[in-house]
Structure 1
Amino acid sequence: MKRRVFGLVFMLLLAFGAKAQKMNQLSLQFSYNQLELGYQRNLLFHNMWGEAFVGIGNQDINSRFDDFLAGVRVGVSAFSTEKNVVALNAVAGVYIPNNSYYNAAAPLLGGGIRYVRFIGRQNRHSVLISAGYQYGKREYKQEYHSEALQVETIGVFKVAPLYFSVGYGFNF
């Protein structure tokens, strides 16, 4: 227990001592099962940021990029230099699959780590690499009616728990 508290205090000290970016950012991130467009802005402290994102995904049964996702991320820069930033973040959002079989808007929670590498003299462009864990699960009902039979089943929609994405950011 003492090691965990020490580790948490050490990470917080690193986070409050880091030099973070002082710019707003538009980002586009892609992983194998979703595409996100985000807007990031600094929050209360110079090394704390918030991001709102929307996107499309393909995690339901039809395997097309037609699902909708939206949410917010809050992060803290754990380590930064003039060209590199490593941040820890938490995610809260919703994932809504789009198919004709069921409706299951799944709440989404998670956490992760993000690496940002600034490109160019003025740090206008950046490369983003994100990885982490997300949890999203929702039960749904499917019903089938005919003249002779009525069938109702219960299923579970789950979002893929691990994610890895690569993206581009424009800083202004």
Structure 2
Amino acid sequence: MEVSYKELMPQIDTFIFDVDGVLTNGIVTVFPNGELVRQMNIKDGYALKSAVDAGYKVCIISGGSSQSVRTRLEGLGVTDIYLGVHDKIEVYNQLLDKYNLLPENVLYMGDDVPDFPVMEKVGFACAPSDAATEIKNISKYISPRKGGEGCARDVIEQIMRVQGKWKGKFYAKYD
């Protein structure tokens, strides 16, 4: 019998996110000087900060290597930021060892083939609605939101609400 994604939420204590296509819409603006600029959703940022403040481990593993992305994430309190990563499973395994994490307590949200190896290993694999087919096929939850349009907020808020840790819980009940 397959487990409902809602049944996986109470045990999550660690969030790992890809950047391009998850925390951004995957579009990069290239300036004449070669600088690459990405847009990040402010609601995703609020949720990341809320998760950090609530004591969750929040990690980033990305193939991109933008210093502005690092600066933004550090400003939200994220300390485990791995950019320019070619082998995401290696970094994932290092995180498991570093923090003594159990795979079943880890959520990973990715959108494309480089995320596949890690997503196969975690307890809760998630994807934005515009993720690659291979990624959607192994995801236990597909957000109705696209990358860069609140998909990280969606999963963080749901998990924090289920666990009674969402700051906005007194405003509305989340179904």
TM-score for the superposition, normalised by structure 1? 0.23
Compare the two structures and name the one with the higher helix fraction. 2
The structure with the larger Rg is 1
Question: Of the two structures, which has the highest relative contact order with CA contacts closer than 8 Å and spacing of 6 or more?
Answer: 2
